Amino acid sequence: MEDKELSPQESLDLIQQMIGKARKRYTDNSFYFLLWGWITIVASVFHYVAASYTSFEYPYAGWSLTVVGAIVSMVKGSKDGRTAKVHNYTDKMYAWLWASLGIGMFTIIFNGQLLGWSVVPFILLFAGIGTSVSGAMMNFLPLRIGAVIFWLLALAAFRVDPNQQMLLMASGVAFGYLIPGYIMKSNAKKNAI
């Protein structure tokens, strides 16, 4: 590209072309969906099995994995942010959305005792908001379908005891995080070719 003068029509065409180039075509956020999907499934299934079939005193022990998840997410997010060649508003909104939801989820879990440990319905509702908005931002249908599943499971979760809620939690993340996460990963690979 040179430093030449343009006609008005050439100017408009150039603006259109450059804005088109800057528009992000595909975002691969599958890492976070798969990380949190697997952490939640392992922790919730462990919780259900330990509480239902064993006399293990700390069935909630698996949830300590979420601390590892939070650290890994923060380290990766900060490293990706530092090394990125371009910062989009979509990525910024996406990071703020999930950080805000994470704070909301943490607050609910931290005060779980006040709710009789019936926290899963609220977590499912929050996860549904995150997947639905992310799905809309990325124009990605599997996440939006995942959001509807999260909300339906939240409705059911309000009606069962906290131990059974763990199974609904595991099902929710399987449909809301893992399936969309794997589809996203495979799409990203195809786009890279």
Interface with another protein by CB under 8 A: which range of 56-64, 82-90, 133-141, 170-178?
A: 82-90
Identify the residue among 25, 55, 57, 87 touching another protein (CB under 8 A): 87
Q: How far apart (Å, rounded) are the C-alpha atoms in residues 8 and 145?
A: 45
Name, in order, each residue with C-beta under 8 angstroms of 179's C-beta and a sequence gap of 6 or more: 142, 146
Q: How far apart (Å, rounded) are the C-alpha atoms in residues 186 and 193?
A: 11
Q: Exposure string (b/e) for 164-187, b if CB count within 10 Å is 16 or more?
A: bbbbbbbbbbebbbbbbbebbbee
Identify the residue among 53, 57, 82, 190 touching another protein (CB under 8 A): 82
Regarding 57 and contact with another protein (CB under 8 A), the answer is no
Identify the residue among 2, 55, 113, 193 touching another protein (CB under 8 A): 2
Identify the residue among 76, 79, 92, 159 touching another protein (CB under 8 A): 92
Sign of CA dihedral 104, 110, 113, 114: negative
Interface with another protein by CB under 8 A: which range of 37-45, 83-91, 145-153, 166-174?
A: 83-91
Regarding 85 and contact with another protein (CB under 8 A), the answer is yes
Sign of CA dihedral 125, 131, 137, 139: negative
Which residues sit at the interface with another protein, rule CB under 8 A? Answer: 1-6, 8-12, 14-15, 17-19, 21-23, 82-89, 92
